[in-house]
Structure 1
Amino acid sequence: MMHLYTLSCIILSLLITKKSNGISSPLQPYTSYRYSTELQRNVADLWWTVNETRQEITFELHIKTTGWIALGISPAGGMKGADIGLGWIDQGGQVHFQDRHANGFSRPVIDNTTTDWFALQGREQNGWTAIQFKRSLDTCDKMDVSIKSGTNTLIFAYGLEDSDISQPDGLIYYHDSRRGSRIVPLRSYGNPPSEEKFADLDYFEFKLNNYVVPAIETTYYCKVYKAPTNFRQRRHAIARNIMVDSNNRDIVHHVVLFECNPTAVFDDNNLPEGICDEITRSISSCTVNIATVWAVGGDEITTYRHILFDLDRHDNSGVRFYLGKELRQYELGYLILGADVSHSAIAIPPETDRFILDSYCPAEATQNFPEPAITVLAAFPHTHLQGRLIRNNKVVKYLFNAESYNFNYQFENLLPKPIELYPGDEFATRCVYSTTNKTDITLGGERTKDEMCLHYFLYYPRMKNYHGCLSLNSKEAWKKVMNSSESTFDYEKLGEWLKRLKWTPESVLQWQKFYNDAPRSVVAGLGDNFKWINLTKIPEYEDLKPVECKTDTSNFGIHQD
């Protein structure tokens, strides 16, 4: 009898997350929305829908107060530069709404350039204020913040009294501690359902068992599990819940579950587990085919500047899968595009404002995609990147463009519309880095201080023999830049050579040119079914033209002050 096994990798780092607890407002929203989230438990809730065709977004904000309420889009997570919509309901039941801008950590001023936040309707009831309002995704206003694809930073606040419009600039009384923030991908939120929805389903779990966490900066811990055998017939997992040990929310950074090769054989009484690098050989058949992935994110996060390592930390984190009662038509899979996770693919100069790393997956690598196509549902970017779909040397569309990215909030982004990928399609991945805060070169790797350029896509139907398409600079390219005449190539020596490099503004420009022009080696497929493809350089293609900023504010609001 053939047994199935999975490999769980738990990655530990210095971060803390908290999960949302659901909607608490007693008021019904005015309409149905695609997305919703709790901003602050029992205090503030938000609903929204994005209209990509009209390039506008409709919000509905509920806050437990009879004073003013406000929602802002922040460029960096704080007040400075934030674009804010602020409103209240007066004693006569009339909605007032203002477009404001925060110049700093002071009372935001009314934006007198253009009015770009528009109230639709609102009410005050049972001690709560609810206002529905709209704005364009990009208002073309220098005093506003564009709502870009990727992660967005929301700020909210509220007062106990209405704004006094008889005073200069519409006086609003200070909110004190009545404020908060939320990072969420407004245009691609996954909108996860409550776990209660799956309460009547069977489930199984893979968890660590009181693992003693080493007192070092980053640990990759791997453990092989035997898949459950107590089900009489085939079942599909239709949902998963990542269970981060409540005592270790400050150290669990991401979780990856791999499916082992069906031919893998293990001793069921002695399944491999340990530091991943130390058991590489014994788990080699279990490190390619991703079953699910999760990374740090959630409603709230704190990073520690001066961390104290506990010498007696034990971890029981893991993942729970809920099983559907009936088989579904398709199985989901993960497709990975981008650059190999190594210093032979990624080497970024320090103190550089903008460094571009391009990867390419040619048509030869996708010829065996199933007919007629695979369908992509969601994107999970692992850095600030753009993923382009190319046909006939022309960009058709972005697979996903993470214009706004936050390392500490890594969401699985649900695409507004599924995208079909056909055999022979080509993919270009561009990662953009800033290392202005670093004095040493940044290399590709799996530690939190290393860099990656990976784009995960959730798709169906799952391909059994295809994991991804990754590229790296060719050995010949590295030997040339290193002025090496050795017949063999030593990747360890390459790493040492890279760390010894001295940098000037001129050498950074030369390094960017090297990366732009370097021949690439591309590896595509899965396990023993992969193949190497050599590219003399990244092919030239016709890119998408920049979209001119346009906004239509006609028929938007009911009342603005």
Structure 2
Amino acid sequence: MSDVGDCYGNDGRYSQCMSATFGWAVGGEPYDYPADVGFAIGTPDDPQYVRIEIHYSNFENKQGIKDSSGIRISYTPELRPHDCGTLMVGVFTFPIHFIPPGSEEFRSYGLCDTRMMEDMLGRPIPDLTVKSFLLHGHLTAYGVRILHYRNGTLIGSLGEDKKYDFNFQQVRHFPKDLTIKMGDQIVVECTSNTMDREGVTFGGPSTLNEMCAGFLFYYPIVPIAACWSFMDIQYITEALGLERGETIMDAVMNIDSVEWDDESRAAAQKAVMDTNHLIIVENREGKRLNKTTPLPPISLPPPYHCEDDSLE
């Protein structure tokens, strides 16, 4: 099949193509898998077709622009020891994700419970060895970190950038391999600044919307595409003193009507930290398994101070 379609429309062919093979974002350089892993192609268990998804930004509405961009993937018949997979974690991309205007630092959270991956597949999954990571946010994000929990205790980081820049998004290798055991929890935290925005920034694929995600490159590969979450927006509207909406989209509209000030922003941040999350695990074909659970205890990152001798 070779065709053009709407990745987020009603065409069922595109919704059955969920697992990320590779991605490129602004500022990224070529990415090479580590020497001992590769992405397998050609066997019955491997993808039989791929979808390339391209996002465009043309804020000035310029006419007559022709695009010739794409991705070149190199392959080899010399198999490497391990077949690598990509797991997307973070905040489910949907307007339930919101950031109030006028926020100097507002933190968003996405949660993954890896035990649900075994529940989805109906079989045990061995420990996952993580080799590399990619952090992804849009224009309001300036800090992104992937927190790693085991038995409810924070044990380390699966990727962090305290000075995240949308214009520099690069896959990065870990100095040494990290291990994810089934039952571990993964929390993606994004810190945003919306001091230059007058309205609420909602989650979405547009550059002017916001995302909060991480991509983990690991082996051995399992047929899971994503493990992410969204928060209970109804809980947050009630915490802000708003009437409970009949639907989720009613609650989103209520968030958009808030007269934001320091007090309401603080109340929203507390509610984001306190509310339950609906975790969604998706397999390669887009089938989902859901579970509701609270965030594990979050330790806030220390403030970052720029060391510049010229300022003394």
TM over 0.5: yes
- Give deviations 1:90-133, integer Å, cap 9, x for gaps: xxxxxxxxxxxxxxxxxxxxxxxxxxxxxxxxxxxxxxxxxxxx
Matching residue of 2:24? 294
1: CA distance between counterparts of 2:245 and 2:101? 28
In structure 1, the gaps of 5 or more residues are 1-225, 227-270, 300-305, 547-561
Task: Determine which structure has the larger strand proportion and give its number.
Answer: 1
**SS in structure 2 of the partner of residue 335 of structure 1:** strand
Written as runs of structure 1 = structure 2, the 5 A alignment for 1:406-417 is: 406-417=165-176
Asked whether the 8 Å contact 1:367–1:424 carries over to 2, the reply is no
Match of 1:374 among 114, 128, 139: 128
CA RMSD of aligned residues (A): 2.8
Matching residue of 2:48? none
2:210 is the alignment partner of 1:470: no
- Give deviations 1:446-474, integer Å, cap 9, x for gaps: 1111111101111112112x112111113
Task: Determine which structure has the larger helix proportion and give its number.
Answer: 2
Asked whether the 8 Å contact 1:336–1:467 carries over to 2, the reply is yes
Written as runs of structure 1 = structure 2, the 5 A alignment for 1:10-89 is: none
2: CA distance between counterparts of 1:495 and 1:545? 28
1: CA distance between counterparts of 2:182 and 2:150? 10
2: CA distance between counterparts of 1:409 and 1:545? 21
Deviation of 1:324 (Å): 0.8
Matching residue of 1:501? 258
Matched letter for residue 513 of structure 1: K
2: CA distance between counterparts of 1:510 and 1:436? 17
2: CA distance between counterparts of 1:545 and 1:419? 21
Matching residue of 1:557? none
Match of 1:362 among 87, 100, 113: 113
Matched letter for residue 474 of structure 1: D
Match of 2:82 among 327, 330, 341: 330
**SS in structure 1 of the partner of residue 148 of structure 2:** strand
- Give deviations 1:360-414, integer Å, cap 9, x for gaps: 2235324468654111111100033111111122111111111121111111111
2:282 is the alignment partner of 1:525: yes
2:140 is the alignment partner of 1:400: no
> How high is the sequence identity, in percent, across the aligned residues?
24
Deviation of 1:276 (Å): 3.4
**SS in structure 2 of the partner of residue 321 of structure 1:** coil
Written as runs of structure 1 = structure 2, the 5 A alignment for 1:4-403 is: 226=1, 271-278=2-9, 280-286=11-17, 288-297=18-27, 308-344=60-96, 346-362=97-113, 364-367=115-118, 371-383=125-137, 384-403=143-162
2:165 is the alignment partner of 1:435: no
Matched letter for residue 328 of structure 1: R
2:232 is the alignment partner of 1:483: no
Deviation of 1:319 (Å): 2.0
Matching residue of 2:38? none
Matching residue of 2:214? 455
- Give deviations 1:161-190, integer Å, cap 9, x for gaps: xxxxxxxxxxxxxxxxxxxxxxxxxxxxxx
When residues 280 and 528 of structure 1 are mapped into structure 2, their CA distance, relative to the original with a 3 A threshold, is: closer
Deviation of 1:293 (Å): 0.6
Asked whether the 8 Å contact 1:273–1:279 carries over to 2, the reply is no
Matched letter for residue 21 of structure 2: A
2: CA distance between counterparts of 1:385 and 1:413? 14
Matched residues, number: 265
Q: Which has the larger radius of gyration?
A: 1
In structure 2, the gaps of 5 or more residues are 30-57, 138-142, 303-312
Asked whether the 8 Å contact 2:19–2:226 carries over to 1, the reply is no
Asked whether the 8 Å contact 1:375–1:420 carries over to 2, the reply is yes
- Give deviations 1:7-57, integer Å, cap 9, x for gaps: xxxxxxxxxxxxxxxxxxxxxxxxxxxxxxxxxxxxxxxxxxxxxxxxxxx
1: CA distance between counterparts of 2:92 and 2:59? 31
State the TM-score, normalizing by the size of structure 2.
Answer: 0.76
